[in-house]
Structure 1
Amino acid sequence: MSKKLTRSQKDRMVAGVLGGIASYFRIDPTIVRLIFVIGLFLSLLFPLAFIYLAAIFIIPNEGEV
């Protein structure tokens, strides 16, 4: 069975992107969220926010695959 990146249905705070990334790499979703928030402020909001919004439309939901 191959591993696929999907947006999480159960580890979701906004759209499930970070929960899906955490599930894909098998790490705690809280760590991924903290890294994202720190990166968001270090990048002055725009680049990571744009990547997150793009990921919402590119990465399929967990049940759609």
Structure 2
Amino acid sequence: MSHNPRPFTRSRHDKMIGGVMGGIARRYGWSSTILRVVFVLVSILSAAFPGIIVYLILWLLMPEESA
């Protein structure tokens, strides 16, 4: 079975800041709005999850999708 997943890239079109959540949502077929809400809630409610740092690292490491 040949399974060719979507590339792990930042979205150019579904973005609020850097396209990280839009890219992750597209990759896995999730709703980007729900993913953003969950990410923010986990970041706020959990002292052990440094959401801003994680987001910035993903922003730097994930390539932007091609045009």
Question: Does residue 29 in structure 1 map to residue 37 in structure 2?
Answer: no
- The structure whose residues are more often helix, as a share, is 1
Which sections of structure 1, spanning at least 5 residues, go unmatched?
none
TM-score between both structures, scaled by the size of structure 2: 0.84
For residues 1-65 of structure 1, the aligned pairs below 5 Å read: 1-44=4-47, 47-63=50-66
- Structure 1 residues 10-56: Cα deviation after superposition (integer angstroms, max 9, x where no partner): 10000000000000010111110110110110124961111100001
C-alpha RMSD of the superposition? 1.9
Percent identical: 38
Q: Which runs of 5+ in 2 are unaligned?
A: none
Runs of 4 or more above 3 Å deviation: none
Which has the higher Rg, Structure 1 or Structure 2? 2
The number of aligned residues is 64
